[in-house]
Structure 1
Amino acid sequence: MTFLYVVLLGLAVSLDGFVAGMAYGMKGIRMPLISLVIVGLVTAVCAGTAMALANVLGAIINTQLAISCGAVLLILLGLFSLFQEYLTKEVRSYQAVGEVTARKLSFSVGRLVISIVAKPETADVDKSNNISPLESIFLGLALGLDNMLAAFAAALMGWLPPATPLVMGAIQMVVISAGLYSAKRFVPEQVKKRFPYLPGTILILIGLLRLG
């Protein structure tokens, strides 16, 4: 049951990776295996760091309070996911004015990560139609933020298997690969348009179940 819970949690926060994979496939952007592995490793590191911090905090505060805080964080993360489409529309409008370039990479890393979340193909900074290992680090950070928050919240609510970060990283790799493959067979954004509120709804349900 615990493993299923971790997988469900990982899938809930990794569906954006599927959309990113579809975006790359439709744009003809390639992702070598080494870059895909780096994205998975960055995701795992983010989740592992969050779990470690949650364990330290959980040892300090009351157990019931920690569980409640974790559940509330999951619900808030789910609510944010529900409004993510509206938030990213503003960033997409900004992107229409000026694309992120290699020069901006040096001076505005934070903006680059935000841009990747809103428009995944922005990760291909050098426009080579190939996600390099360096570019995959920033892509991993962009896609790993939700994993980090979810792992932190879940770890506050209770014990998670030590392999949780690796599972989340592996799921990220699988969904990106699935997106790249599906881009050859499905209409762009089809899945996301059909199930736009699925990730957020799953997170909210997990949080509500833990509060109950």
Structure 2
Amino acid sequence: MSLIPVLMFAIAVSFDGFGVGFAYGLRRLHIPPASLLIICVSSAFSVFISMLVGSTAVQLFSPLVGSVIGSVLLIGVGLFLVWQSLRKVDILSLPDSREEQITKKGLSYFSGMLREPHRADFDKSGVITGREAIVLGIALAMDAFAAGFGAAMLGFAPLTTAIGVGVIKMILITAGFQLGKRYARDISGERAAVFAGLALVFLGVVHLFI
């Protein structure tokens, strides 16, 4: 398979990392290199495991059925990312009490953390430590797990794709963090996540009809 679809997939499932980095940059939270590595490895490992499962599952179906299932999964995850991005509010502009209300309304612990990444800083130290990085890594891996399963059914190589996700996520978190520090209150990073979802939808549609 060409590296271009793999690269598009890696960027799409890693774009939530850009949003997290952007939010941390706004709040001047620090992510040490070791913690950044933990976050990215967690996401890459999640994708790798889900793709191994997907590669096994695809053997139960004909190539055509497996391709359709994989495409539908990618399209579904992509549409979910678009919907999730469009319904986000500017949490950073709300008081803490209001933030807590939003977090408790229908959001799981981990998905709430993606909406308010600063909550991963449990001890309020301003630094994301190892334990906090693991929890954040799990949160960032949730969408990647489902997408990885679908990608495997489309023939994506598990190891190559997982490595790509880890590397791209590291780049995007770092880029988001730097932009967040430089452009406080710029919400473009929040809305740009819509394009990540659309990229997954595009990949799913392409593999569905080609």
TM-score (norm 1): 0.86
Change (3 A) 1:171 1:41: same
Q: What residue number does 2:104 align with? A: none
Alignment partners' CA distance in 1, 2:56 and 2:108: 30
* 1:143-158 paired onto structure 2 within 5 Å: 143-158=140-155
2:117 aligned with 1:116 = no
Tell which deviates more after alignment, 170-179 or 196-205.
196-205
Q: What residue number does 1:13 align with? A: 13
Unaligned runs of 5+ residues in structure 2 are 102-106
* CA-to-aligned-CA distance 1:56-113 (integer Å, 9 cap, x gap): 1011121111100000011111111111035555x998x735759xxxxxxxxx9431
Alignment partners' CA distance in 2, 1:114 and 1:7: 25
Alignment partners' CA distance in 1, 2:23 and 2:82: 20
Q: What amino acid does structure 2 have at the position aligned with 1:127?
A: K
* CA-to-aligned-CA distance 1:149-175 (integer Å, 9 cap, x gap): 221111101142522211101111111
Q: What amino acid does structure 2 have at the position aligned with 1:171?
A: I
Q: What residue number does 2:82 align with? A: 82
Identity %: 31
Cα contact 1:10–1:147 (8 A) shared by 2? no
Change (3 A) 1:197 1:98: closer
Alignment partners' CA distance in 2, 1:111 and 1:194: 22
Tell which deviates more after alignment, 188-197 or 66-75.
188-197
1:162 aligned counterpart, secondary structure: helix
Cα contact 1:22–1:188 (8 A) shared by 2? no
Alignment partners' CA distance in 1, 2:189 and 2:175: 14
Alignment partners' CA distance in 1, 2:152 and 2:133: 27
Instruction: Give the aligned CA root-mean-square deviation in angstroms.
Output: 2.5
TM-score (norm 2): 0.87
Unaligned runs of 5+ residues in structure 1 are 101-109
